Every structure is written in structure tokens, then in C-alpha cells.
Amino acid sequence: MPEPYFLNVNGIEHEVTDPDVAESLLFVLRERLGLTGTKNACTEGECGSCAVLVDGVLTCSCLVLAATAADREITTVEGLGATAADSEITTIDGRDGLSAVQEAFVDAGAVQCGFCTPGLIVAVHDLLEANPEPSDGDVREALSGNLCRCTGYGRIIAAVHEAASRRRGGQ
């Protein structure tokens, strides 16, 4: 029987007991830890719905064996509330702690069915950490691994630029 291991997810250490060595990080996040913000769509790394940060690197969690992420820092969409890069913590619809990216997605109408949204939000956080003032081309390139079937991407791109402005203090 494989040994239990620990996953550090959103700053909290979780013990994974009775592990199956073939379980993906996506499966463990959703089914074992109850973090259902990360979505399961293609299971082939093609859609971006399962995007998380592993040690700060944008990663398709469906392609990573969970046990290989032991003792690494994993950040899911649930862990991306307001950060130091955000000018202030905001409240929308009674929910405290939305990041500038999450708030901009709501304000720009970039959230439609919501299935792709968590992966997009993780990817946008990653983009804005690396490039605080992205061009449209930069945004399109950074989000090229994320598929959305509802929006046509116009509102998503607008949300990224709005989030970038808010993070720079241009509320």
C-alpha cells in the first residue's frame, strides 16, 4: 500500500491517505479535498479548466500525478482572493476578498456559464504577475490554452485589462 503524502494547497497542508498512485492532481483536489473550483473538462491538458499554480507555475492539474505535487505549493482559484498586488479587498454580492481579477471578470461580464472561469482567472493572475501591462496580443497568447464556448473572448480581454488597471491602482 502506498504511503500517505501531504499537499500544500492554498497555504493549508492536507494529508492524502490511502492514495492511488494513478490519481491526478485534479482528481485529488476535487474528490478528496473538496476544492471544486478547479474544473474537470477534457482531462488532456487542452482546455485550461483545471489550471492551478504549482510552485507559481501555471499547470494543467489533469496532467499531473497528485503524488508528484507533494511538498510543493499549490494554488487553486479558491486561494486567489485579494492579494498584495490588489489595491484593496472588495465585496461583491456579499462576498469579501475578491481579487482585482475576480472583480473585473464580474464587472466586465466575462463570466457566462462559469465553467472555464476558474481556469481563466488562474491564468490571468499568472499573466499579470509576469506582465502587469499586457497588450491584447499578450493576453491572447497567455490565454491561448483556455477554451471558452460562451463569450467570444471580448469581455474576457476587457476584464484582463480592467484587472491590470486596478492592480496598478487605476480604480
Mean of the pLDDT values across residues 28-54?
Answer: 96
Cβ proximity of 101 and 121 under 8 Å: yes
Digit-coded pLDDT (tens) for 112-138: 888 999 999 999 999 999 999 999 999
Query: In percent, how much of the chain has pLDDT > 90?
Result: 79
- CATH 3.90.580.10 fits domain 90-167: no
CATH architecture observed for domain 5-77: Roll (3.10)
Instruction: Kindly report, as residue ranges, where domains of CATH 1.10.150.120 are found in the chain.
Output: 90-167
As a whole number, the mean pLDDT across the chain is: 90
Question: Could you tell me the pLDDT band of residue 152, with boundaries at 50, 70 and 90?
Answer: confident
pTM of the model: 0.89
Q: CB-based contacts of 159: which residues, under 8 Å, 6+ apart?
A: 101, 104, 105, 107, 108, 110, 124
Digit-coded pLDDT (tens) for 66-106: 999 999 999 999 999 865 444 444 444 444 678 899 999 99
Q: Mind giving me the DSSP string for 48-102?
A: -TTEEEETTEEEEGGGSBGGGGTTSEEE-GGG-SS-TTSSS-EEETTEEEE-HHH
